[in-house]
Each structure stands twice: as structure tokens, then as C-alpha cells.
Amino acid sequence: MTRVQVTAGGRIHFGFQNLSLARERLYGGLGISLREPRFRIEAAPADELRCDDPDASEYAARALDLLDRPGIALTIHERLPAHVGLGSGTRLALATLAAVARAYDHEPRVRERAPQLGRGGRSGVGCATFETGGFVADAGHRAERFTTQPPAAGEWEVPEPIARHTLADSWRFVLVVPSITPGRSDDHEDRSIERVVEHADPSIADDIARIVAQQLLPAVAEDDWHAFGGAITAVSRLNGAWYADEQGGVYRPPLGDLIDVLERSPAVAGAGQSSWGPAVYGLTDDERAQTAREAAQDALSAAGVDGDVVICEPDNEGARIETME
């Protein structure tokens, strides 16, 4: 019997390139892939669906239906924390799909099938980083296609990457996940995005476009971590201006306090909030990682909240799918 193991790290989402219907392209995600924290899922063919995780079971059932297979025995050995801004929903969906497909010796075709799993509707970062890792900027959607009322589930194509770069081996991301209420997801997230898109200032998109073209892309191409950090900080703050009414400020409170402390550390080149949070990231490198960790712990103390601090390596490979006979 063929057993398959799929390992997929989380992702950091820096923000979107545009949220205004006044511009031709809507959304256009920017983000990177991490080695850890991660999902590690094992699967083997079975006569029925056997899985003790309700979310994975739902995705496995959809995958079995797409592939016309009878069942799967699915076990999650490691998991990403849910709804903290690390892309756990898309990672779980795609890892489950890949595990089910490869267990039956099928190609996963995750980009093609992600919409049938309800994933990849707005941002293509989750799918692209699952496929290839690294830094990704995606094309977004034509604004007349994705309005405040997006197409029905499954009636879209995942946005294609327009830029992909390998991240330097020496780069590290200090990840801070405070112990507060999880970020928005599902219908709650959809309603918030709809309200943001209705009122988004298009001039913010123009500022982001300049930063992406003149700072962000050159910095990642040249392995300039200081310049890259400054660029992602600027993109994060500009995205926060769009979301301010929805989340109570440029950053969701008290994440702004964490980010301010991180930014003051000489070991951190840039910082921001991933998706709806509460995960906060800072860019550092291997030589400064311990100092960055201490700055992150100081940030939690200054904000008066508990939480976890992890130093993460970037992932430049994408999900790893291994067959174990």
C-alpha cells in the first residue's frame, strides 16, 4: 500500500497591491513561504474516509470526489496554528489534496483544483508558495470580475504569479503570535473585505505600486535585506490604512505596539502584520536572529500580552511530497 507524506510550511502575507475598484487589477497578493511552523500530513488509500480532524476531513472528502476515489486514511502529525495569519486554511486544503492525489498516483494539480476547495479566491500567494516557495507577487484579478461580490465558490482561477524570487539563505523571520483572539476568516473575513473594497482609496494602490516596483522587487532580487525590510514595512502600513476602520487602526490592537518595538531593534529591518493577524513578523538574518528574538519577547512584555516567538527560515522549495512504500 502506498503511503504519502506532505510537508508544507506556513506563509507570511505582506498585503495586497490594490483594493480599489477604481483600478484595473484588484488584489494582487505579496508574500513569502516559511519552513516552519508547518503541516505534516500522512495519507494512504482506504475503503472509506478516516480522519479525526474535521477541517481536513472536509477537504479530503472534496478531493476524493474530484478524483473519484473511494476513501483515504489521513493523519495530521504536525499542524499550523489556525486563523493567526499564516495561511493555515489554504495550506491544509492543498496539503490534503496533494496527499490524497499522490496516494492514488495522481498529479495533485493544486492550482487548477484549489477553487473547487474554496481556496485561492483573492490571493494567489498561498497556492504559489505551496508550489514553489520563495517570495511571490501575484497578478490579482480584473476588477470587473472580482467586485465587492466575488464569483461563487469555485468559479474563479487562482491568480498567476507575476514575480517569484528565491530568498537568501541567511534571511530569517522572527514570528510573534500573541495569545489573543484569532484573526478573521470565512464569512466574517469576506464581509470585512467587501466593506474595505467599497471604500478603498485608490491613491494608496499607486503608492504601493511605486514601492513594489522601485524598492521591493529590486531588494529581493539583490538580496538586500535592509531595503526589503523597509519595503514590506511600508506595504504593510499602507494596507493597514485600507483596513483601519475594520480592525481598529492601521494595525489590529495591540499589534501596533508589538510592531513599534520590533522596528526599533537594530536587529530587525522591517516588521508588519500578516493578513488579519494576530501574527506579527520582523525580518532579520542568521547573525542577528537571537537579538531579534529578544526584541520580540520585549515587545510582548511591553504590550502586556503572552505569546510565542519563533525564528523562521524562509522556504524556497514549496511543499514536499514524499512517497513511502
The vertex-282 CA angle with 276 and 288, nearest 5°, equals 165
pLDDT digits (tens, 9 = 90+) for 15-72: 999 999 999 999 999 999 999 999 999 999 999 999 999 999 999 999 999 999 999 9
C-alpha cell at 192: 470585512
Residue with cell 517569484: 164
What is the SS3 assignment for 290?
helix
Nearest residue to 305 via CA among 273, 258, 259: 258
Residue 148 pLDDT: 67
CATH code, 82: 3.30.70.890
C-alpha cell at 289: 536572529
Q: Which amino acid would we find at residue 204?
A: I
pLDDT digits (tens, 9 = 90+) for 84-136: 999 999 999 999 999 999 999 999 999 999 999 999 999 999 999 999 999 99
C-alpha cell at 136: 511571490
* 216/230 Cα distance (integer angstroms): 8
Q: Are strands 161-165 and 270-273 parallel, antiparallel or unpaired?
A: unpaired
Residue 156 pLDDT: 87
Largest CA distance in the chain: 57
**Number of domain units in the chain:** 1
The vertex-31 CA angle with 30 and 37, nearest 5°, equals 160
C-alpha cell at 201: 482609496
Using left for φ > 0, alpha for ψ between -120 and 50, and beta otherwise, residue 185 falls in: beta
322's CB contacts (< 8 A; 6+ apart) are 4, 5, 6, 7
Distance set, CA 263 to CA 168, 219, 299 (Å)? 21, 18, 10
* 64/258 Cα distance (integer angstroms): 43
Distance set, CA 63 to CA 77, 94, 101, 158, 219 (Å)? 20, 10, 8, 17, 39
Residue 241 pLDDT: 97
Q: Which amino acid would we find at residue 53?
A: D
Task: Give the confidence band of 1 by pLDDT, cuts at 50, 70, 90.
Answer: low
Which range (154-163, 231-240, 279-288) has the least confidence?
A: 154-163
φ/ψ of residue 279, rounded to 5: -65, 135
Q: How many CB atoms lie within 10 A of CB 40?
A: 16
What's the DSSP call for residue 200?
-
Residue 85 pLDDT: 96
Q: Which domain holds residue 181?
A: 3-324
Angle 88-103/125-132 helices, nearest 10 degrees? 50
Q: Are strands 72-78 and 49-50 parallel, antiparallel or unpaired?
A: parallel
C-alpha cell at 63: 478531493
Residue 227 pLDDT: 98
Read off the pTM. 0.95
Q: How many CB atoms lie within 10 A of CB 46?
A: 17
Question: How far apart are the two ends of the chain, measured CA to CA in Å?
Answer: 7
Residue 98 pLDDT: 98
The vertex-318 CA angle with 179 and 61, nearest 5°, equals 75
